[in-house]
Structures are given as C-alpha cells and as structure tokens.
Structure 1
Amino acid sequence: MCPPVKRNTVYWLNIFKHAGQIWLESSAFAQAGSLAFFTLFSIAPVMIVIVSVIGVFYGQEAAEGQIVMQLQDTIGKEAAETVQAAVSRSSLKGGGLVATVAGVLAMLVGATTVFGQMQNALNAIWTVVPKPSRNSIMLFLRKRLTSLTIVLAVGFVMLVSLSLSVGLRILLHNVQGWLPWYDVAFSGLELALSILVAALLFGTIFKVLPDVVLSWRDVALGSLLTAVLFTIGRSLIAMYLSYTATASTYGAAGSLVLLLLWVNYSSLILLYGAAFTKAHLLARGLSVQPRNVAVRVRREIVEE
C-alpha cells in the first residue's frame, strides 16, 4: 500500500498531466493566437471602460496613470505606450447625442469582443457549445452581456487592487520606523496582494465565462494556480522579450508585436489554468454540467 505522501503526489501529478492533455486537445496554441489577434481591437475600449470605472473614485487622470504604470510593469514601456496611444485616439470626443450614443455602443462592442472569444476558448476546454438556436440575436446579446460583466468585473478588481495597494503603502509607511526589513516586507506583501487579486480575477473569468455550471470552490484552486503561473510567467516573458530583441527586429511595429506576444503567452497560461480546473473537477469524481443554454460535445476519430 502506498504511503499517503506518495499517493497524494501521484494524485496531483495525474491532475497536472491530465490538464496538459486537455490543454493540448483544445488547440490551446490556436486559441491563444486568436485571443491575441482580437485583443488588438479590444484593448483600447477595455482600457477606457476600466479607466472610467476607477476614475469614478480616483479621478480620470489618476486612474489612467495607475493603469499605464501597471501596464509598464507587466508588458514593458514600449507596449504600454502603444496601448496608451490607442486609448487616447479611441476616447470619445465632444459631439452630438447620436454620435455620442453610437460611440458608446461601438466602444462597448469592441470591449466585449475579446471576452467573447475568450468564452469560446474556455468552452473548447470544457468541450461545450451553445445550443443550436434559431434566435441567434438573443444568443449574441447574451454573450455580449456576459462579456460586459467581465469587463466591469476587471475594472472593479483593479479598483480593489489599487485601494488595497494604497492602504498597504500608508500602513507600512506608518510602521516603517520600527519594522525591520521594511523593503522586503513591502515587496512580499505587495506580491501576495497581486497574486490574490489576480486569483480573484481569474476565478471570476473561470466561473462566469464558460457555459458550464461551476461553484467558487470548483474554480478556487485553478484560479490560484493560474495567478501564481501568471506572476512567474510575467517575469519570464519580460526576460525573454528583452533578450530576443523582438522590438528592434520588427522596427516600427515592434511595440505592437511585443503586445501580441505577451497576450499570446499569457493566454496559454490562462487556458492551462482552465484545463487544470477541469482536470481537478474530474479527479474529485464530479462531472461537467453544461448550463441550460449549452450542450456537451464529443470528439471522435472515425476511420473508414
């Protein structure tokens, strides 16, 4: 009989292995490339919505400054400047009522496009598809509404992250005089806060977007793993992009290519986290339960 430690090790190794199989079978690389492409058209509207949410509490300029700072730490200065320029050009200018309403609707459609594609990618992980329906307009509107919910959730999570970060800075500044290793303590707490906030964001995506019935318990471990992998991967991706001289290779389009590569690699991490969530669910003896608007699909290889 295997010792408990060895048995648990084999259990978790099997989950990671099964997650890798699910990840590959769902065409993760093609899905990640598709997400990177759609991000080009959605990044500016998404940032505008997020800045608007945070700006209600901190002001528009302060919110935009914080977002740009976060982007620089994540994707690099050049790519962040590209996003900032796109946001500036996409911002709604003064105009008539019809032009303003049309601009808002176009911005919301653009902001939800990438999350609609992300929903398709997650459905591929869970092997579910929306039910064939004649009412395709209602299906489209439902998907857009779900995607808009995620966009607003991203803004809310970033607002919470910013508020907690400010509170953490104030707290540690007040105890700086008698707290040893102040810099180490601040860096450690900020890292832990970053992982927890990312886990909350990934958990929301894993629970809301796919057409599968999941509880917070079902997505908790997978979202935490994704947050840790994302935090580690963010540094590794930044190192890789800095050493491969990608920006200089593509000249004027270098910053755009950097953004595409970063989104592509990050999407692979996101999809593996979703695959791990599914593998962990199945390892616990549970089954995949589609929502009432979706059905399961099964892939078969037929030899004739």
Structure 2
Amino acid sequence: MHIKHTLSLFRKAGTAWVDDFAPSMGAAISYYTVFSLAPLLVIVIAIAGAVFGREAVTGQIVAQLSGLIGNDGAQVVQGLVASASDTDKGLIAGLISVVVLLIGATTVFAELQSALDRIWHVPVEEKPQGIRALLQTRMVSFGLILGVAFLLMVSLSVSAGIAAFGSWAGGMLPGSELLLQALNMTISVCIATLLFAMIYKLMPSTTIAWRDVWIGAGVTAVLFEVGKLLIGLYLGKSGVTESFAAAGSLVVLLAWVYYAAQVFLLGAEFTKVYADEHGSLAGAKAMAKTEQTAAEGKPVEVRTSGPAAPGGALAAKESVAPTRQKAIDIEIEATQKAIVTQLASLAVMAVLDAAMSKYMNRVDRRFRLLGQPVKSATGTVARQHQRGRSDTLLARWRRRSSPGWGKRS
C-alpha cells in the first residue's frame, strides 16, 4: 500500500470510530475491565506461576503495571489480586469463588465481543442466542485467558533471556543497553500483535480471515506501545493522583484502561476498513456494487484477467471462485472455533478438578487432624467404661453367690 492509501484507511477508520460510538463503548469496556482485572490476573498468575513461580510472575506483572499506571496504581491492582486469590475458605465457598472467578474474568471479553459485533455490523439474527451460545462465548473467553497466560510465559522467558544476554554482553559491546531496549520493545510489539490478532479473529460473531486481522493487530500494537509512553507522561505530569486524593490510584487505572480500550477499538475499525478495501471482503463489496449498478440500469463493466471465453464463462468462473473460497473459509473458521471451545472446556474442567482436589485434601486433612485425637479419646473412654461395667457385674455376681447373700442381719 502507498502512503496515500494508508492515510485514507486511517481517515475512514477514524470516521467509523466516531460513527460506531467508540468512546461510549470504551467507557463500558473500562468499567467491566476494572471488575474483571483481579480475577483475570489471578487465573493468569496461577497458570504462569506453575511454571515460573507465583512470586516471580506477580513481581513481573507489578513491575509492568508500575511502568504503565505508576506505583500507586500497581499497588491497588496487587491488593485486588491478593484479595481475590484468598483461598482460605470452606469447600462450598471455595467452589462458589472459583465459579465467580471464572465469570468475572470472562466478563470483559463478552463486552469486547459486543463492541466488535457492532464494529463489524453483525446482524442480530446472526448473533448466537440462548444459554449454549452464552456458554460458548465464555469458553472462548477462557481460551483467550489461557492465551494471555501463554503469552505472559513467553514474555517472561524472553525477558529472562534478554537480561542474561545483557549481563553477559554488557561489558563487551558498547551501547548494548539501547540495543537490548529496542529488542525488548520489538518483542513486546510482536507479542501484543499476536494477542490482538487472537481477539480480533475469535471474538466477533462473524467470520474474519486471518489475513485481515494481522494488519490491524500490528497497527494496534504499535499504537499501544506509543500510547504507553504518552499516557505515562500525561499521568506523571498532570497530577491526577493528587487531585482525586484517596481515589487517585483508581482514577489513574480507569484513565489508562479507557485509553487502551480506545486504541483497541480504533485498531478494530482499521481492521474492518482494511478488510473492506483490500482484504477478503473487497471482492464481495465489489460484487455488491456491480449488482447495485446493474439494478439501476447502468452498463456493467466486467474486467477479467484473461481473454474472454465464449458465453462469458471466464467472468462466471471468477464470480463463483470467491463464493467457494468464502464457504471454505467458513468451514475452517467453524472448525477452529470448535477446537478452541473444546480446549477451553478441557481447561475449565482441569481448573475445577484441581480446585475440588485442593479443597477435598484440605477438608480431609482437617478431619484427620481433628478425628484422630477425638477417636482415640473416645475409644479410651469407651474401654474404661466397659472395664468399669465389667468390674461392677463381677462384684455383683460374687455378692450373690456368697452364702450369706439375701439374709437379713
């Protein structure tokens, strides 16, 4: 694409961003994100912590949040995560907390799906309905959470490798710090691109080709990295924390999440415009325009890439090819979503099974600790009572069997 076409895409994406009421959708996403952030991080830390250790993963997340929203905001998020991960409960309360944790963590993804459906102009009749559709949406959302955990593990591994390389080559290569920072930022952009591509691809209720989402995901990742610096400067210089006193940390968190939501929605609009202009939807759009021109009675110009065949067979073949390709894409998309749903179902069952085993072991341990002394004491008392009763009966039998028993003195 030329620079002129790129600027045209951004202009159309900005117009669509305003027409689809993206600022209002971003406010809703920010609201749900604040309530879903703690359970989402609890699940991500639990999964990634199984590999790298809970303390290491928590420290990495807090360090990243400190660079984004400041130390106060990071401490607020850390407190929310600590409160949400408190598992010192009974069996029933623990199971309920696990269910609430899963629902809370997937709520923000459901709101993202609603926003993406509006951006892609998905008709109401094509949206999934009923309890099954709701469960399927939650399963896909949980699958994305697993993807976030996997990307976090990749990021931790890469960061550890870069740090080790920096400590080894620090004294050998001059200017290695700038090189490592650039490498770290490049890797962050790649990981963010993969994450945004997964969301843009899997969350909408319509079929989207992979080749359409990569461009938009890359643009969103770049805007996200640039925006981190800008929003950090704004929050550091504006004095928002001091203006709102005790609620300053929460306001900073909301402001940053709102900005991230706007970048995400702008990237989704760019993806939609790119798909319409240069992606998989360009052929369907051109065909619809041709049909509209023919319906208005205007001459239709058919362009072919080769010599015209008798009876217009070449043009008919070219018009049928996009339809077959679209059907194949739909089948592939359905298969991919089914696989993601099955993997998410297995993951949910594994989490529930682990939670059940954990609480059953805790309950069994408590009953074992409480049951052994009680059982032992009860058995001792019972044996003493039985021995005393036997001695009493033996004494009575001896008195009755004595010669003078029954005679009054």
TM-score (structure 1 length as normaliser): 0.89
**Which residue is equivalent to 2:151?**
157
SS in 2 for 1:131: helix
The offset of 1:54, in angstroms, is 1.0
In structure 2, runs of 5+ residues without a counterpart are 285-325, 334-409
**Which residue is equivalent to 1:82?**
76
Distance in 2 of aligned mates of 1:43 and 1:148? 14
What is the identity, as a one-letter code, of the residue corresponding to 1:128? V
**Which residue is equivalent to 1:172?**
166
Does structure 1 retain, via aligned residues, the 8 Å contact 2:126–2:205? no
**Which residue is equivalent to 1:124?**
118
What is the identity, as a one-letter code, of the residue corresponding to 1:273? G
1:101-154 C-alpha deviation (Å, 9 max, x unpaired): 111110000000111101111111111155378952112111111111111111
Does structure 2 retain, via aligned residues, the 8 Å contact 1:41–1:110? yes
**Which residue is equivalent to 1:300?**
none
Distance in 1 of aligned mates of 2:248 and 2:194? 32
What is the identity, as a one-letter code, of the residue corresponding to 1:87? V
**Which residue is equivalent to 1:53?**
47
1:200 aligns with 2:194: yes
Deviates more, 1:259-268 or 1:144-153: 144-153
1:104 aligns with 2:130: no
1:129–1:162 distance in 2 versus 1, CA, 3 Å: farther
1:135–1:127 distance in 2 versus 1, CA, 3 Å: closer
Does structure 1 retain, via aligned residues, the 8 Å contact 2:242–2:248? yes
Does structure 2 retain, via aligned residues, the 8 Å contact 1:45–1:87? yes
Q: Which entry has the higher C-alpha Rg, 1 or 2?
A: 2
1:271-296 C-alpha deviation (Å, 9 max, x unpaired): 00111111111111532889799xxx
The offset of 1:193, in angstroms, is 1.1
1:48–1:130 distance in 2 versus 1, CA, 3 Å: farther
**More helix by proportion, 1 or 2?**
2
Identity among equivalent positions (%) equals 36
1:94 to 75, 88, 91: 88
What is the identity, as a one-letter code, of the residue corresponding to 1:43? L
1:77-116 C-alpha deviation (Å, 9 max, x unpaired): 1111111111111113223322221111100000001111
Distance in 2 of aligned mates of 1:130 and 1:81? 42
**Which residue is equivalent to 1:213?**
207
Distance in 2 of aligned mates of 1:125 and 1:133? 13
TM-score (structure 2 length as normaliser): 0.67
SS in 2 for 1:10: helix
Distance in 2 of aligned mates of 1:188 and 1:68? 22
Distance in 2 of aligned mates of 1:97 and 1:169? 42
SS in 2 for 1:213: coil
The offset of 1:17, in angstroms, is 1.1
Distance in 2 of aligned mates of 1:150 and 1:133? 20
What is the identity, as a one-letter code, of the residue corresponding to 2:143? T
How does 1:58-69 map onto structure 2 within 5 Å?
A: 58-69=52-63
SS in 2 for 1:128: coil
**Which residue is equivalent to 1:266?**
260
**Which residue is equivalent to 1:298?**
none
Higher relative contact order (Cα pairs below 8 Å, separated by 6+ residues)? 1
